[in-house]
Copies of this chain bind each other. A is one copy, B any other.
């Protein structure tokens, strides 16, 4: 059965907005990856949505818990909660061939922890699965959960309030369905900010961030979402947990860390208390060019290890720097002047970095920036000034829009990410790039593989890869092969299977490489303790038991 989903669901932006490619960008793409035939999505239509597998009695029981208007069974609602935002999800949605068994049989919108509790109890007795669905931005199959039995999407539009702001302790307590833009509007009116800014910002929810250990573009300075959680309420099939007292504790294992990153498989996060900050009054963003990738990596490592980090730190490798400058750098005569400047400073052909400092006094921000420059100096960087930094800030959310355009043009484009210790980092990058290149080479043409570091720690850094290649006849299979090769390469080189995108279904086969078979068995045992009927997000996070 074909589901005709088309552009309605597989398009970023709320609402989608067109993104154009500059002439320079068109030229660069044609030179670098070629000009495949366009692949527009199949046209929008009502399509054949499978019948709901919920019985009328089950639908009535759900309506009895959350109210009749909070149980949606129409095709558009159900299709809108059938997949996330991975390339694979997007390809299926654009091609109209999503697995119909992944389409939820109802979208249920609870309004309280009590209603979540009652829905889980009903699911256990009635035997349907529950897929918590926040912004639906998973890129790892975390909300794409096909199966033979009935399943509902649990949506949090009605649990999206700020419950409490403690301006003395600088914490905010929210319900899981609130998004970043709404939360920031409320906080910034009080002079506060959360500061969590991933590319999924427009759509993703706080509950989703916490359930997936999301990191954002400012996480080097503001901390990852998992580091900002003070307390949680989690509704599980065996009872509620309220975890987190005070700013830190030594009271045994940190059970919060079992539920942070549990991706809806261990319980439903219904309240989150997070650390917030004063809204910064001084911001200084800057572009920097290093003579080589090695120099840039060494500088970023030193910034972390001599405690002189900026709040935003981003370092592109040579391919990404080349692409960025070619597609959005200065052109024409200004471009020539720019090139001469780079040559004069011995950084031509090098690597582009963005550094951003945020703070509460010009003096301290200047002192931090001066400290950073004194640490970096050995690695011979040249400043590109504030305009390059500010330009990056303006375009920081453009990536997902651009992906839509490139998919329309007949490319596949996807990202994958990891993190490794400094001593492993070059090896990881080279191995993943080689694996992607080898598996996506086609008609003698290499894919374009580029990467950047966007989160820096004292002991290592993240690596974020973007790959562009002409779509093959079956782009889903094309990408599956490349992804598997990349995962094999990164696990073999000591890196983590994911730095900030979670496990979902797509990474579950590699979880044993991360935590060992004893670790996987322990997770499975814990799943059995908190969700004995396997109601929650089956197959996500914990890989199916080997036969």
Contact = CB atoms under 8 A, between A and B. Distances in A.
Interface of A: 166, 168-171, 212-215, 224, 226, 230, 236, 238-243, 245-263, 266, 275, 277-278, 301, 305-308, 359-361, 363-364, 367-368, 370-371, 374, 418-424, 455, 457-462, 494-503, 507, 511, 514-519, 521-523, 525-526, 529-530, 541
Contact of A247 (B254, B258, B266, B459): B459
A523 B252 contact: yes
21 contacts: A169-B421, A169-B424, A213-B249, A224-B248, A243-B519, A246-B418, A246-B424, A247-B458, A247-B459, A249-B496, A250-B500, A251-B498, A251-B502, A252-B263, A252-B541, A253-B261, A255-B523, A361-B371, A367-B368, A367-B371, A529-B529
Given A514-B245, A518-B238, A250 B498 contact: yes
Given A361-B371, A363-B370, A526 B523 contact: no
A452 B407 CA distance: 60
Given A168-B301, A363-B371, A499-B246, A278 B252 contact: no
| A236, A261, A301, A455: residue with the most chain B Cβ atoms closer than 10 Å | A261
A254 B261 contact: yes
Contact of A242 (B168, B419, B516, B529): B516
A266 B248 contact: no
Contacts of A213: 249-250
A200 to B, nearest CB: 13
Nearest to A423: B168
Contact of A419 (B170, B247, B308, B368): B247
Number of copies of this chain that the complex holds: 2
B496 A246 contact: yes
Which 7 A-B pairs give the minimum distances between C-beta atoms?
Answer: A367-B367, A247-B460, A257-B257, A213-B250, A239-B518, A169-B421, A247-B457
| A245, A307, A458: residue with the most chain B Cβ atoms closer than 10 Å | A245
Contacts of A364: 308, 367, 371, 374
Contacts of A262: 252-253
A355 B364 CA distance: 18
Given A246-B424, A254-B260, 13 more contacts: A169-B459, A170-B422, A230-B421, A240-B516, A247-B458, A250-B502, A251-B497, A252-B503, A252-B511, A255-B519, A278-B305, A522-B529, A522-B530
B251 A514 contact: yes
Contact of A523 (B253, B423, B457, B459): B253
Contacts of A171: 421, 459
A495 B443 CA distance: 65
A213 B253 CA distance: 9
Contacts of A507: 251
Given A374-B363, A419-B246, A499-B246, A459 B275 contact: yes
Nearest to A213: B250
Contacts of A370: 363, 367
A248 B500 CA distance: 9
Contact of A251 (B236, B248, B503): B503
B277 A518 contact: no
B455 A522 contact: no
A213 B423 CA distance: 27
A460 B245 contact: no
A168 B427 CA distance: 14
A246 B420 contact: yes
Contacts of A361: 371, 374
Given A255-B519, A371-B361, A460 B249 contact: no
Contact of A214 (B250, B253, B525): B250
A238 B368 CA distance: 49
A515 B241 contact: yes
Nearest to A366: B367
B240 A501 contact: no
B248 A497 contact: no
A361 B374 CA distance: 10
